[in-house]
Amino acid sequence: MSNDIVLDVRNLRVSFGPEETRLAPVDDISFELNQGETLGIVGESGSGKSTLGMALMCLAPAAQNARIEGSIKLQGRELMGLSADEMRSIRGHSMAMILQDPMASLNPVRLLGDQVGEVITAHQMISRDSLKSRVLKAFTSVRIASPEQRINAYPHQISGGMRQRIVGAAAIIGQPQVLIADEPTTSLDVTIQAQYLDLLKDLQREMGMAMIFITHDFGVVAKMCDRVAVIYAGQIVETARVRDLFRTPRHWYTAALIACVPKLQGEAKRLAAIEGQPPRLVSRKPDQPTACRFAPRCPAADKVCEQAPPETQLANGAMVRCWHPREAS
Amino acid sequence: MTRAIITRCAEALIALFLMSAAIFALRRVTGDPVALLLSDSATEADRMALTANLGLDQPLLTQYVIFLRDALHGDLGRSLIGDRQPALDLVLSRLGYSLQLAGVALVFSFLIGIPLGVMSAVHRGRFIDFAARLLALIGQSVPVFWLGIVLIFLFSVTLGLLPTSGYGDWRHFIMPALTLGLFTLAAITRLCRASMLEALNSEYVKFARIKGVSENQILIKHALRNSLMPVVTFMGTFFAAMITGAVVVETVFSWPGIGRLAYESILRRDFPVVQATVLTMTLLFISCNLAVDLIYLWLDPRMRQGAK
């Protein structure tokens, strides 16, 4: 089983700011990702999802004194502590990432073909012809019609859906083992969204990639993911297989989130909401565990929740970080 | 693309035409040239004769058409002073000196301003950033004439290193070019720093990092071109600053260019020469902006599309 683990993340922490009052948007996150698997990472805006995605690429946020700590093992190889150049050769090749806004991800003044081919030329000398054929192949595999013309086009000349497919081409041209998709469909039309998700699934199957899918959309999770990690205020509060998570959420936050998803069946009701606000960024020293972060909004919270909640391992590789997990039905 | 170029050129022609009307109108409101030309003892008949001779008895519109026709034939009237040389010849004989000075000043301000702005952005918050911002602040707040006088005092009078004024070898260029270019240099540094910071914080730079592109390549291939676009946009304005600045700088350093010619002609109330100088400056201005537009078409593919 352990041979199948592509990515093993232990106690990952991203923090920034002055030493005394450091803020940690990602705090003590651990998970593993298996070969060919899709792991969803779900959470509200500001819960640290995107920072986590960037941290997995060993890219710290552009903030004062930013630091990534912990351990990220890619097929057994520790990434933390690699030199900048070694890490650069991992990016785009062993691990790739797709960002949310395709218009912003592409440089407006450079040709599409160059921006995709850059992944190759950044690391190796390659003849013009073989570079072109690889770029064309990448364009074809993301279903770009007439790729010969598109490589010489600029981002403003193509549609939003096609732009995101170009971004996808840049992500897969290096044949990564892990693809991190950070809300790749949020800025697309609904119909284009579905197409794009299908495309990602096909690519994953063809290339045998493992995928980390960052989203706030449970519909996308149900469609795409095998397992889900729910993240709250920079910490994973629950991990489970998608089916189990939807059927019996063990963490109160997960249950509340799922209750917020509007249903098609039944009578139309007011949309459910979770009372209160998520904490902004949480500041603490690694050796100073604090109370459960969801406690102020939790219906089951009591005195014991002022202590740091334990990570309880459950059946089927699931985990819940709670003193009073909900009953499995 | 061809169409975009033609559009830009047509726009430049329209601007030039409108400016000629403004210049023509300005000359009409600066007083009666006949009163200026004639001596105090001139009779009413002399006055009428000169008015007819100069075409000033014609309707205004006719006068404008004549003015335009003459201007297109390169005739901008004659100087009222001395041996009454054609105004255009006077301006052209001085133009080369001004262009040399403005050229040196512009190149100097670009060669220093762009790298300084880029380094300031890349090493944000470091010493180089602080130094560049201080220089930019000084450059934009120091008055041109004051800087010129201080430089003369320091390098010519006190240290005796450089000639005080006039046109000559390369040493004559240093102080006037520095004085003329400092404001532009400061503006370019600030502009370049701001646009570079914006580019470096953009999503496409973030995505380039994700793709594994090295920081140097990101700087050259992704950030620089985008951050130069505002600089190019303002190039026309910078050149304008050079031309208007030339009036002061050329006067301070006794530089034989059109700026000093304009200053002298205004003092002598030599209106045809003032008019010819202003028209030449306008022409320079408009051609510069046209050049900027064309460079922009080349730099930014989105503009090519927009002008289709």
Confidence label for B246 from pLDDT (cuts 50, 70 and 90): confident
Distance between CA atoms of residues B218 and B216, nearest Å: 5
Task: Please check whether residue B285 is in contact with residue B240, taking contact to mean a CB–CB distance below 8 angstroms.
Answer: yes
**Which residues from chain B sit within 8 angstroms of residue A54, using beta carbons?**
206
**Edge-to-edge, what's the strand order for the sheet holding A235-241?**
A95-98, A178-182, A210-215, A38-42, A227-232, A235-241, A319-321, A311-313
> Between A92, A105, A154, which is nearest B212 by CB?
A92
Q: Distance from A279 to chain B by nearest Cα, in Å?
A: 26
Domain total of chain A: 1
Put simply, the answer to whether A91 touches B226 (Cβ < 8 Å) is no
- A239: containing domain: 2-321
Rg of chain A over CA atoms, in angstroms? 21
Put simply, the answer to whether B210 touches A122 (Cβ < 8 Å) is no
Mean pLDDT of chain B: 85
A278 is a domain residue = yes
Put simply, the answer to whether A156 touches B214 (Cβ < 8 Å) is no
Bridge partners, A7 (sequence order): A33, A74
Distance between CA atoms of residues B240 and B128, nearest Å: 29
What DSSP state is assigned to residue A271? P
> What's the rounded mean pLDDT across residues A76-103?
91
Tokens 């599409």 sit at which residue? A112
Q: Is the dihedral of CA B15, B19, B20, B25 positive or negative?
A: positive
- Vertex A203 angle, CA A84 and A74, to 5°: 35
Q: How far is CA A161 from CA A188, A194, B72, B76, in A?
A: 6, 11, 54, 60
Taking the CA atoms of residue B218, residue B222, residue B225 and residue B227 in that order, the dihedral angle to the nearest 10 degrees is -80
* CATH number for the domain that contains residue A73: 3.40.50.300
> Between B210, B217, B300, which is nearest A109 by CB?
B300
Long-range contacts of B82-90 (CB under 8 A, 24+ apart): B87/B272, B87/B273, B87/B275, B87/B276, B88/B276, B90/B261, B90/B273, B90/B276
CB contact, 8 Å: B240 with chain A?
Answer: no
Residue B200 in this model has a pLDDT that exceeds 70: yes
Distance in angstroms between the alpha carbons of the first and the last residue of chain B: 7
- Vertex A114 angle, CA A111 and A118, to 5°: 145
Mean pLDDT of chain A: 88
A329 is a domain residue = no
A197-206 pLDDT, tens digit each: 999 999 999 9
**Which residues from chain A sit within 8 angstroms of residue B209, using beta carbons?**
59, 91
> What's the rounded mean pLDDT across residues A22-35?
89
Q: Residue A180's closest chain B neighbor by CA?
A: B210
**Edge-to-edge, what's the strand order for the sheet holding A5-16?**
A23-34, A5-16, A67-74, A77-78
**Which residues from chain B sit within 8 angstroms of residue A62, using beta carbons?**
201
Distance between CA atoms of residues A90 and B300, nearest Å: 32
Q: Residue A172's closest chain B neighbor by CA?
A: B211
Burial class (CB in 10 A: 0-12, 13-18, 19+), B18: exposed
Element (H, E) at A95: strand A95-98
B79-134 pLDDT, tens digit each: 877 778 888 888 999 999 998 899 899 999 999 999 999 999 999 888 999 999 99
A327 is a domain residue = no
Question: Which of B37-46, B70-79, B143-152, B213-222 comes out lowest in average pLDDT?
Answer: B37-46
Element (H, E) at A215: strand A210-215
Rg of chain B over CA atoms, in angstroms? 24
The length of chain B is 308
Tokens 């901008």 sit at which residue? B76
**Which residues from chain B sit within 8 angstroms of residue A156, using beta carbons?**
301-302, 305
Q: Distance from B198 to chain A by nearest Cα, in Å?
A: 12
Distance between CA atoms of residues B207 and A89, nearest Å: 15
A237 is a domain residue = yes
- Residue B220 burial (CB count, 10 A): 11
A328 is a domain residue = no
Tell me which range, A226-240, A298-312, B82-96, B147-161, is most confidently predicted by mean pLDDT.
A226-240
- For the domain spanning B95-300, the CATH number is 1.10.3720.10
Residue A228 in this model has a pLDDT that exceeds 60: yes
Task: Please check whether residue A230 is in contact with residue A43, taking contact to mean a CB–CB distance below 8 angstroms.
Answer: yes
> Between B212, B222, B305, which is nearest A91 by CB?
B212
Put simply, the answer to whether A108 touches B302 (Cβ < 8 Å) is yes
The length of chain A is 329
Bridge partners, A40 (sequence order): A213, A228
Put simply, the answer to whether A104 touches B299 (Cβ < 8 Å) is no
Q: How is residue A169 written in tokens?
A: 């081409």
Q: Distance from A58 to chain B by nearest Cα, in Å?
A: 9
> Between B209, B214, B300, which is nearest A59 by CB?
B209
| Best residue of B1, B122, B205, B211 to probe chain A, by most A CBs closer than 10 Å | B211
Between residues A239 and A19, which one has the greater pLDDT?
A239
Q: How is residue B298 written in tokens?
A: 């080349």
Taking the CA atoms of residue A125, residue A131, residue A134 and residue A135 in that order, the dihedral angle to the nearest 10 degrees is 120
Residue A286 in this model has a pLDDT that exceeds 60: no
DSSP H helices, A184-301, are 190-207, 218-224, 242-247, 252-260
Between residues B263 and A284, which one has the greater pLDDT?
B263
